[in-house]
Structure 1
Amino acid sequence: MLDYKLLEALATVVECGGFERAGAELGLSQSAVSQRIKALEVRLGQPALIRHPHLEPTPAGRRLLTHYQQVQLMERELRTALPTLDAASSRLRIAINADSLATWWAEAIGAFCRDEGLLLDLVIEDQDVGLRRLRDGDVAACLCAGDQPIAGARCEPLGSMVYHPYATPAYIARHFPEGLTEDAFRRAPAIVYGPHDQLQHRFLAQCGYHGAFPYHLCPSSEGFVRLAAAGMGYGMMPRRQVADLVADGRLVSLAPGRALTVPLHWHYWRHSGALLERMTSVLRRVRLT
């Protein structure tokens, strides 16, 4: 049988990104956390963590993390069925794209979390890469663009988000006086969310441009909008996030009639208990498009 205190130490080290912060989270010394990881690796007969050059779980460690996430969810259901057990709030670790978090997520899931006494540990990932977190056992569920379920998980389509290339009128007049020309795309600064964000590249390809372009990197949905509203660049944004700015004319589409549709899918472990099933039922009622 596995010692779940050891699995808890492994999960906390991975979530916190280090032994010292994991110790603070668990109320243990750094040395005590390290000893728990070593004891787990002795029991496992192989390493559970890669320590250099970056701290990350080994393939065996990922499987243990996935198991630990599932056990936590099942224990939560047991506490619900047997109230005499510890009824402390549960915590669910979910990977989610920043634009969903900045727009519809809280409204859709807020009442459910309040009624269930559920605490969320949200990991912000681009919609194109978030599924990797679930595959690695780092999260119990994932909201992302990919529609191919991984082994042991379910995939539910939730709809899609539509992105438009917004900028200020003054920015467009300055950088695109002759329209969407190749020279303008080559010179005009764009705004890109992060190194995995391909929305800007897809928009440019849609316009027939495949070359390099200058851009700001801004890994914040709110900051992204602020940069665009300040006239620093143009970028792909969901209309619902900037509806007020569009309504008062502070932001306009760089290419009216052009947009990118990004599907969103909800992935979760197949045997993670009734809590995730109930959350999934709530999310099925969301209408994104």
Structure 2
Amino acid sequence: MFDYKLLSALAAVVEQAGFDRAAQALGLSQSAISQRIKLLEARLGQPVLLRASPPQPTEVGRRLLNHVQQVRLLERDLQTQVPGMNASRLPERLRIALNADSLSTWWAPAVAPFCAEYGVVLDHVLEDQAVGLKRMRAGEVAACVCAVERPLAGARSEFLGAMRYRALASPTFIERHLSSGSIEDLLRAPAIVFGPDDQLQHRYLASLGLNGAFSHHLCPSSEGFVRLLQSNLGWGLVPELQVRAELASGALVDVAGGPPIDVPLYWHHWRNGGELLAELTRALGQSARQWLVV
């Protein structure tokens, strides 16, 4: 049998990204957290954490974290079903990985009714939609929104819809950098890229027959991304949902008339995640398509 005090210490270190914050979260000393991790590793005969900054789970550590995530959710079901079990006075927390563009557009109205009905609070872990599944694989989250369809072993994925992106810039930027009418100007004009995993601008250029390196700013913020566009610093792929007002006013316009890019989004969740995760899955299936392209 596992000692769940030890597993809780492991989960806290990974979720809180360090021993200090894990100790605060569990109301223990940092020394106590360290001792619990060492005891867990001694009983297993192998490490569960890589002492990096922040600490990273080993392969065995990831398996244990996935187990802890599911046990927490199943325990909640038991607390409501078995007489005499004392339910926690604190609201249930779900850790969800999703991309910043979803968080800044459709996610909040989609999950708000569920959180209100079930008294759930959410820990949001931001990750690019192309690689968000790695957080779930690492055992850091109970579910994730990402662009990958294939689920992990022991998990399921469900199609939510697609986010439509358009290549936009300010009229002033277009006049300065793209006024010749040649699409090859897009390779020379500065672009805005969310981060190193963001390939949307690359895909857009490829759809126009343009390949190779291009100048770009990096901006890991959805709101900042739009602000940079409005400030004439570059062109970039933006969710249509996010800039409806700017498109209507003419503050942002399409740069080259190329096709929009629809990025499919999938909801990944553990099969044995309990009724709470199942309810969230049903709620998202019903509500997300009000905002996403299907």
What amino acid sits opposite 2:167 in the alignment? P
Deviation at 1:189, TM superposition (A): 0.9
What amino acid sits opposite 2:271 in the alignment? R
Change over 3 Å in CA distance of 1:151–1:63 after alignment to 2: same
Q: Which residue of 2 aligns with 1:26?
A: 26
The CA distance in 2 between the partners of 1:214 and 1:83, in whole Å, is 63
Q: Which residue of 2 aligns with 1:187?
A: 188
Deviation at 1:144, TM superposition (A): 0.4
What amino acid sits opposite 1:16 in the alignment? Q
Q: Which residue of 2 aligns with 1:36?
A: 36
Identity %: 57
Deviation at 1:256, TM superposition (A): 2.4
The CA distance in 1 between the partners of 2:222 and 2:269, in whole Å, is 25
Change over 3 Å in CA distance of 1:180–1:132 after alignment to 2: farther
Q: Which residue of 1 aligns with 2:5?
A: 5
Write the mapping of 1:205-216 to structure 2, written as runs, cut at 5 A: 205-216=206-217
* TM-score for both structures, normalised by structure 2: 0.94
Write the mapping of 1:133-152 to structure 2, written as runs, cut at 5 A: 133-152=135-154
Q: Which residue of 2 aligns with 1:55?
A: 55
Kept in 1, the 8 Å contact 2:167–2:236? The answer is: yes
1:143 counterpart SS class: strand
1:114-152 deviation digits (Å, cap 9, x = unpaired): 111111111001000001111121111010000111110
1:88-131 deviation digits (Å, cap 9, x = unpaired): 31111111111111111110110101111111111001000001
Kept in 1, the 8 Å contact 2:155–2:268? The answer is: yes
Deviation at 1:193, TM superposition (A): 0.6
The CA distance in 1 between the partners of 2:240 and 2:198, in whole Å, is 18
2:28 counterpart SS class: coil
The CA distance in 2 between the partners of 1:171 and 1:230, in whole Å, is 9
The CA distance in 2 between the partners of 1:165 and 1:53, in whole Å, is 37
Which ranges in structure 2 are unaligned for 5 or more consecutive residues? none
The CA distance in 2 between the partners of 1:231 and 1:158, in whole Å, is 33
Q: How many residue pairs get matched?
A: 288
1:20-50 deviation digits (Å, cap 9, x = unpaired): 2211222222111100100111121211001
Runs of 4+ in 1 over 3 A off after TM superposition: none
1:242 counterpart SS class: helix
1:264 aligns with 2:257: no
Kept in 1, the 8 Å contact 2:76–2:87? The answer is: no
Moved more, 220-229 or 172-181: 172-181
Q: Which residue of 2 aligns with 1:157?
A: 159
Q: Which residue of 1 aligns with 2:178?
A: 176
Q: Which residue of 1 aligns with 2:285?
A: 284
The CA distance in 2 between the partners of 1:247 and 1:18, in whole Å, is 45
Which ranges in structure 1 are unaligned for 5 or more consecutive residues? none
Q: Which residue of 2 aligns with 1:92?
A: 94
Deviation at 1:8, TM superposition (A): 1.0
What amino acid sits opposite 2:17 in the alignment? G
Write the mapping of 1:232-243 to structure 2, written as runs, cut at 5 A: 232-243=233-244
* TM-score for both structures, normalised by structure 1: 0.96
1:156 counterpart SS class: strand
Moved more, 255-264 or 106-115: 255-264
What amino acid sits opposite 2:94 in the alignment? L
